[in-house]
Structure 1
């Protein structure tokens, strides 16, 4: 095997291992942050009453959110690893702007796991987490445009972000019970990131969430759920964007 192939395989294995391992630490963080706006993070497990340790130790735990209440935490961890592996395998190169764009998407996957867990629990996407992701994405894309001497890369990304954000803002105004402002913020960031690959990626990433959500809604109905029940849209925004990046990225 050539050195380039070995390097590619090494980075692929490293990315999958790192993202999978890191995602295993999010259940505790997500559980503590799954509260109403302006509320303090949870200080104890609501199921068994076990208090979380004070300070940083109360946030650091791999696996289930509570040691007394086992949960299938490994599902999201493996999904994160699979997505990171797919995008790393799809990457054309691991130098300069290509590595920055890959880093951007690995950050989206990692943050997407945390945001999805919170959205599934309490139907909200915390502003600070979304804005933190926005900062990482902007720095990665902006630096990639600078290194590649392609200012149009950043311009297209900005236009795509504005277009997708405007679309979801109109959707939120028209369907406030289904699309929230957190979804609008997240969709804007994902549109910005997808804009690096052109408008085909942006359109695909915008359409896919609406194709992914109905099967899950139907499954909930078949399990006895209410037709009026709200379905968190954040996980579908993340999944749709990652799939679009995989199909159109380079």
Structure 2
């Protein structure tokens, strides 16, 4: 069991980061959506605080905690922007790749576990190719940004193990299908309505990362 003060302190740090990230996220939105409630600090603070606290509970004081916290810092704004505007800015998504590679590489050195880094890179490639195949076969089911996001999530998921990678991929697809079904049932969308898939991929990955599958 991780020390309660570590979880509490990291949660507070997450809340502070959430307050800071609210502004940049608003600037990444179109002018018409800058006042959306999802990008308010009152939404970002608890979301980021809870995620930071959960990752601290899951990993404890470890370099990997920094990597997963960076993932949260990137993915929360991506999910919000995708929900509001059905897009995920490349300027936010792509820099996360080298940041996570660097942090997981540092964790590799600390743990003397080169296999974990190799697995992460293979997981990144595998999930990218997997979702790219889905995008090409099922035209319109997901966009290029979803495929790029899948690679980033694969990098983080595979660090914990192959089972976690598989669980994250399956849960992401499941959440996406459920969200679409609910929207159609509520008549908020039709079978031909574009539905943002990024939040489902992120939710599936975070669920797998926080549940000890491996």
Choose the corresponding residue for 1:158, options 116, 121, 136. Answer: 121
174, 184, 196: which one aligns with 1:211: 174
Q: CA separation in 1, counterparts of 2:26 and 2:137?
A: 31
Task: Name the residue aligned to 1:86.
Answer: 54
Conservation of the 8 A alpha-carbon contact between 1:115 and 1:234 = yes
Which residue of the partner structure matches residue 144 of structure 1? 107
Q: RMSD across aligned C-alpha pairs, in angstroms?
A: 2.2
CA–CA distance in 2 between the matches of 1:132 and 1:12?
A: 27
Deviation, structure 1 residue 224: 2.6
1:247 to 186, 192, 211: 211
Aligned equivalents of 1:77, 1:112: Cα separation in 2: 14
Q: TM-score, normalised by structure 1?
A: 0.76
Superposed CA deviations along residues 85-118 of structure 1, whole A, max 9, x for unmatched, are 1221122x42xxxx21111111111111111111
Structure 2: segments with no counterpart, 5+ residues = none
Q: Is the 8 A contact 1:109 1:238 kept in 2?
A: no
How far has the Cα of 1:175 moved from its partner?
2.4
Would you say 1:238 and 2:206 are equivalent positions? no
1:229 aligns with 2:193: yes
CA shift, 1:124, in A, is 1.4
**Distance in 2, Cα, partners of 1:215 & 1:169:** 21
Q: Aligned with 1:178: secondary structure? A: coil
Q: CA deviation at 1:167?
A: 0.2
Provide the residue aligned with 1:33 in structure 2.
28
Cα deviation, 1:186-218, whole Å, max 9, x if unaligned, reads 111111111111100000010111221233223
How many Å separate the matches in 2 of 1:225 and 1:183?
22
Which of 112, 117, 124 is equivalent to 2:80? Answer: 117
SS state of the match for residue 205, structure 2? helix
TM-score by length of 2: 0.88
> Structure 2 CA distance, aligned partners of 1:249 and 1:192?
16
Measure the CA separation in 2 of the matches of 1:218 and 1:230: 13
Task: Please state if 1:200 is matched with 2:159.
Answer: no
- Does the aligned pair in 2 maintain the 1:27–1:117 contact within 8 Å? no
Structure whose residues are more often helix by fraction:
2
CA distance in 1, matches of 2:26, 2:121: 33
1:182 aligned partner? 145
Q: Contact 1:209/1:237 (CA < 8 Å) preserved in 2?
A: yes
More displaced stretch, 140-149 vs 21-30: 21-30
Contact 2:21-2:44 within 8 A present in 1 as well: no
How many residues align? The count is: 211
- Matched with 1:62 is none
